[in-house]
Amino acid sequence: MLKIESWDWESKEKMLADTAKWKDKFEDVWEPYISPDGEKIASIVKVGEGEFNIAVNEGTWEEPFEKIWYSRFSPDSRLTALITKDMEWTMAVDGKPWEQMYEYIWDTKFSDDGKVIAATTKLDSVYGITVNEKTLECPVNLESIASYAISSDGKTLAAIAQTLPLGQADLDGFLKGTWSVVVNGKPWKDNFVDIYGLAISNDGKNVAAEYRAAICEYGIVVNGKPWNEKFGCTWEPVFHPNNSNEITTPVRQAGQWFLATNGRIVWDKGFVSLLYQTYSPDGNNIAATVAPQFAKWTVAVNGQPWAATFNECLLQPCFSPDGRKVAVIAKDSGKWLLVVDGTVLGEGYDNIWQPVFSPGGDKVICKVEKNGKYAVAVNGKICGNTYEALWNPVVSPDGTRVMICGVEDGKYYRKVVPLSDI
């Protein structure tokens, strides 16, 4: 797990970099990223013709590269990026490239503690998942990898992969199944027409996905074994947070969407649409984004929709730590709104990022955008300064403080403020 406790929660304000100077120093400066602990800010910068580097706070990486992209900090605040040397690709971590070079590398992912760094790689026209410089061995040559997931502890990596070649316009071959799930390098026994919506249980023991059995026939497959029930359509499954044998997914029957757990419909009410089912932290409640009628969106908690509806869309709901409250970002008549338990909090914004609850559940904190500036909003109301760039606020483990990282007049600040002050 991420050791948030060890971060600096005492320093009220640190100015860690003057990014405005980067623009004078380098030919081009890309959009910045910050480390999870807020201590570092980094941007890919162009230093010459066909030469790129990364500026990190007041310095740069030692060695420039021909190309750099997808710079991302790991949870333990190491800076990774995908780079080329002599027209071959690899991962660089804090400026040091992996020894193995690839035809291509993409989609960096991390374990929760950042110890595991993974990516999809292609070498000698064979695709694989590479973990900390080592490509997972697979008994078959993978023709393609559509996507992959990594467990919290980084020990389970599951990929949606094409395990068989397919000729041009080979409809029969396609319907026989060319796609499977490869878990830590081992493909499931059976192939499927298509695989979507990969999920790994919190304990890393089980892997589930949607599969397509025929043109209009879908189901859920767990560790390679399909549910007995099939549906007209499904969306991505989700594991119960504490019970890796319980899987919940939206399913479509007779033109309506229902929520099903382990193949059995558990919400008796059907919806025009049902998405983003989310368990409460203890797993006792489920919230989902639903449309009881066309273009009337709301949240249903344990099958009961809120009275308030919104006319454009809703994003994924989130529970308070005690599982009693639900917050969601809604869009109505062109404005984004923060909604908690069916009530709009504050005003509408041009954009709202995923909210977080305070540990007590009484405050909902999020990043918002208004008129091209960014700010932190608490219960829907802007608190404090506006920024030209801002990252999602982080609440301290004891719930007393909030870390706010943003750029003002080109200067990058890491601030810690008492939650009671905002």
Exactly one of 147, 386, 396, 400 binds another protein (CB under 8 A); that residue is: 147
Tell me the per-residue interface mask from 151 to 170 with another protein, x by CB under 8 A, - otherwise: -----------x-----xxx
Beta bridge partners of 127: 122, 142
d(CA 135, CA 137): 6
> Is 406 within 8 Å of 390 (Cβ atoms)?
yes
Exactly one of 215, 228, 371, 420 binds another protein (CB under 8 A); that residue is: 215
> Is 248 within 8 Å of 261 (Cβ atoms)?
yes
In residues, how long is the chain? 422
**3-state SS assignment for residue 21:** helix
Q: Is residue 87 within the footprint of another protein (CB under 8 A)?
A: no
Cβ neighbour number for residue 422 with a 10 Å cutoff: 18
Q: Is residue 228 within the footprint of another protein (CB under 8 A)?
A: no
Q: Is residue 353 within the footprint of another protein (CB under 8 A)?
A: yes
- Residue closer to another protein by CB (options 2, 233) is 233
Pick the closest to residue 138 from 150, 128, 125, 124 (CA basis): 128
- According to DSSP, residue 27 is labeled S
**3-state SS assignment for residue 25:** helix
Q: How far is the CB of 168 from another protein (least distance, A)?
A: 8
d(CA 235, CA 225): 17
Exactly one of 88, 101, 153, 174 binds another protein (CB under 8 A); that residue is: 174
Q: Is residue 30 within the footprint of another protein (CB under 8 A)?
A: yes
Neighbouring residues of 313: CB distance < 8 A, sequence distance ≥ 6: 297, 330, 331
- According to DSSP, residue 199 is labeled E
Q: Count interface residues toward another protein (CB under 8 A).
A: 52
Exactly one of 137, 171, 264, 307 binds another protein (CB under 8 A); that residue is: 171
d(CA 407, CA 25): 18
Q: Is residue 28 within the footprint of another protein (CB under 8 A)?
A: yes
Exactly one of 60, 128, 183, 212 binds another protein (CB under 8 A); that residue is: 212
Tell me the per-residue interface mask from 295 to 334 with another protein, x by CB under 8 A, - otherwise: x-x-------------xxx-x---------------x---
Q: Is residue 194 within the footprint of another protein (CB under 8 A)?
A: yes
Q: Which residues bind another protein (CB under 8 A)?
A: 27-28, 30-31, 67, 69-70, 103-104, 106-107, 120, 122, 144-147, 162, 168-171, 174, 178-179, 193-194, 196, 212, 215-216, 218, 232-233, 252, 254-255, 272-273, 291, 294-295, 297, 311-313, 315, 331, 350-351, 353, 369
